[in-house]
Amino acid sequence: MSVKAAKHARELLLKEYRSVLSTQSKKWAGYPFGSVVPYCLDEAGRPLILISRIAQHTRNLQDDPKCSMLVGERNADDIQAAGRLTLLAEARQITDAGAIEAAAQRYYRYFPSSKDFHRVHDFDFWVLEPVQWRFIGGFGDIHWIAADSVPLANPFVGEAETSMVEHMNSDHANAIAHYVELAELPGGEPAELVGIDTEGFHLRLGQTLHWLPFPAPCGNPGAVRQALVQLARAEAWPGTEVIQA
């Protein structure tokens, strides 16, 4: 298994936020059933989804938790030449009250409108436990990747991430606007920081999410702060270098 392929697969998983979830049809036995599902990643780096109790895919998962999730590069001109990632997984509903609260806190930042669905329309959080990954980076760039090789634990999920995100959004709007400019993201709408992981951070512009990499991995909040300051002062997106907290 290529370490480089696992890294590229994880970057694609982070950069995208919409997927096709395929479940085993309960109504039509033997047939796969595909549906569109948004996702973000949990503290272990696994896809976290919020789905309705009455949805067909939820009923399918309750009957058989084996599923797959397909993620592809958005806006690709040639979908066969673009990167795509398939996850074979076991879906598990989150039932612990504390875990539900933690999942909701992060998911709501990524998808604010989901708060009403969750509270009013009987939606539940599920996590996809990886079994195997299939990553295709383009023609001839094809890899089977072990279950634990793509996800990367996120030590910031929870209070640390919430504090950093709220601080940046309330006190450093100019820096966030600069990140948008550096990354050449579409303008016109104010951007908000919604998530931080060891390798980068997510911005939300309207209903669209964008993941931007740090110059180097960050293992603690001090390193994150230094990386964000460095990017706020940069005139172009910097290359990789070691960041010390």
**Ordered per-residue pLDDT tens for the chain, 245 residues:** 588 999 999 999 999 999 999 999 999 999 999 999 999 999 999 999 999 999 999 999 999 999 999 999 988 878 777 889 999 999 999 999 999 999 999 999 999 988 877 666 689 999 999 999 999 988 778 999 999 999 999 999 999 999 999 999 999 999 999 999 999 998 778 899 999 999 999 999 999 999 999 999 999 999 999 999 999 999 888 764 433 33
Does residue 221 belong to any structural domain of this protein? yes
Q: In this structure, how many other beta carbons lie within 10 angstroms of the beta carbon of residue 173? A: 14
Within the chain, where are the H helices?
A: 3-15, 56-63, 97-110, 114-120, 159-171, 173-182, 221-233
Q: pLDDT value at position 188?
A: 77
Element at 35 (helix H, strand E): strand 32-38
The per-residue pLDDT for 103 is: 94
- Compute the radius of gyration of the chain from its Cα atoms: 18
* Neighbour order of strands in the sheet with 200-205: 191-196, 200-205, 208-213
CATH of the domain at 105: 2.30.110.10
Among 146, 167, 192, the domain-final residue is 146
Q: Which two tokens stand for residue 91?
A: 């879906």
How far lies 142's CA from each of 12, 82, 171, in Å?
Answer: 14, 12, 44
User: Domains in the chain: how many in total?
Assistant: 2
Closest CA to 150 of 19, 20, 3: 3
The first and second tokens of residue 216, run together, are 């180097």
CA-to-CA distance for 20 and 37, rounded, in angstroms? 6
Rounded CA separation 55/17 (Å): 20
Residue-range definition of the domain harbouring residue 211: 159-233
Instruction: Name the DSSP class of 63.
Output: H
Token look-up 């890899």 returns 143
In one-letter notation, the amino acid at residue 47 is P
The reply to whether 151 falls in a domain is no
Note whether 128 and 179 are same-domain residues. no
pTM of the model: 0.92
Q: Which of 114, 146, 178 is the last residue of a domain?
A: 146
Interacting residues of 64 by C-beta distance below 8 A, sequence separation 6+: 23, 24, 26
